[in-house]
Structure 1
Amino acid sequence: MDMNRMTSGVPMVRIDGARVRNLREAKGLTQLFLATSVGVTTDTISRWENKRYPTIKKENGLKLAEALEVELAEILESVAEAEPQPAAVEAPAAPTAAPAAPAAADAAPAPAPESGGQQEEEPAAEQVLPAARPPSWPKFAGAGVLLLALLAFLGWWVYPVSEQFTITASRLLPRHTVAGQPFPVAITVASNSTTPLSLIVRENLPEGAALLSAVPAYSAYEDKAREVKWLRKIDGSQVFAYMVKLKQPEGAAAFTGKVALSRGVGRQIEVSGNAVVQIGQFHWADADADGRISDEEILMVSDEFSGIKGLAINIDQVEEIWLGSGYVWNKEKKRFEVLP
Structure 2
Amino acid sequence: MDEHRISRGGVPMVKINGRKIRELREAQNLTQLYMATTVEVTTDTISRWENRRYPSIKKANALKLAEALQVELAEILDEEEKTSQPPVNMAEKVPAASAAPEITPPTAALGSRKKPLALIAAIGIGIIIAALWWWQSPYMNPRISAQRILPAHSVPGRPFPVLLRIKNTGHAPLSFILREYIPAGAQVILAHSAAAVTVDKKTGSLKCLGRIKHGELTLGYVLKTGRSRTAVLKLHGTITSRRFGGRPQAITGNSEVKMLPFHWADKNMDNRIDDQEILAVYDDYSEVKGLKIDMDLIEDIWFGSGYSWNAKTGKFIIKP
Q: Which secondary structure state, in structure 2, belongs to the residue aligned with residue 187 of structure 1? A: strand
Corresponding position: 1:300 with 2:299 = no
CA contact (8 A) 1:66 1:263 kept: no
Pick closer, same or farther for the CA change 1:268–1:73 going to 2, 3 Å.
Answer: farther
Structure 2 counterparts to residues 265-280 of structure 1, below 5 A: 269-280=249-260
CA contact (8 A) 1:67 1:263 kept: no
For 2:46 and 2:236, the matched residues in 1 are separated by 32
For 1:329 and 1:337, the matched residues in 2 are separated by 6
Please provide the CA RMSD for this pair: 4.3
**1:288 Cα offset (Å):** 3.2
For 2:13 and 2:158, the matched residues in 1 are separated by 56
* One-letter code aligned to 1:228: L
Q: 1:33 maps to which residue?
A: 34
Name the stretch that deviates more: 52-61 or 229-238.
52-61
Q: 1:98 maps to which residue?
A: none
For 2:242 and 2:225, the matched residues in 1 are separated by 33
**1:240 Cα offset (Å):** 0.9
Q: 1:223 maps to which residue?
A: 201
Gaps of 5+ in 1: 84-129, 153-160
Q: 2:299 maps to which residue?
A: 319
Q: Which secondary structure state, in structure 2, belongs to the residue aligned with residue 277 of structure 1? A: strand
Corresponding position: 1:22 with 2:22 = no
1:98-118 Cα deviation digits (max 9, x unpaired): xxxxxxxxxxxxxxxxxxxxx
1:37-80 Cα deviation digits (max 9, x unpaired): 11333234234445777786664344234434xx3149926999
CA contact (8 A) 2:182 2:205 kept: yes
CA contact (8 A) 1:203 1:227 kept: yes
CA contact (8 A) 2:149 2:162 kept: yes
CA contact (8 A) 2:160 2:222 kept: yes
Q: 1:284 maps to which residue?
A: 264
Q: Name the TM-score, length of structure 1 as normaliser.
A: 0.63
Pick closer, same or farther for the CA change 1:54–1:287 going to 2, 3 Å.
Answer: same
For 1:35 and 1:202, the matched residues in 2 are separated by 20
Q: 1:5 maps to which residue?
A: 3
Q: 2:165 maps to which residue?
A: 188
How many residues are matched? Answer: 271
For 2:60 and 2:247, the matched residues in 1 are separated by 21
**1:277 Cα offset (Å):** 0.9
* One-letter code aligned to 1:225: T
Q: 2:188 maps to which residue?
A: 211
Structure 2 counterparts to residues 73-222 of structure 1, below 5 A: 73=72, 76=75, 163-194=140-171, 196-216=173-193, 219-222=197-200
Q: Which secondary structure state, in structure 2, belongs to the residue aligned with residue 219 of structure 1? A: strand
Q: Which secondary structure state, in structure 2, belongs to the residue aligned with residue 257 of structure 1? A: strand
CA contact (8 A) 2:148 2:252 kept: yes
CA contact (8 A) 1:67 1:262 kept: no
Q: Which secondary structure state, in structure 1, belongs to the residue aligned with residue 280 of structure 2? A: helix
Pick closer, same or farther for the CA change 1:211–1:78 going to 2, 3 Å.
Answer: closer
Gaps of 5+ in 2: 83-99, 128-136
Q: Which secondary structure state, in structure 2, belongs to the residue aligned with residue 232 of structure 1? A: strand
* One-letter code aligned to 1:336: F
Q: 1:104 maps to which residue?
A: none
* One-letter code aligned to 1:190: K
Between the aligned residues of both structures, percent identity stands at 38
* One-letter code aligned to 1:177: S
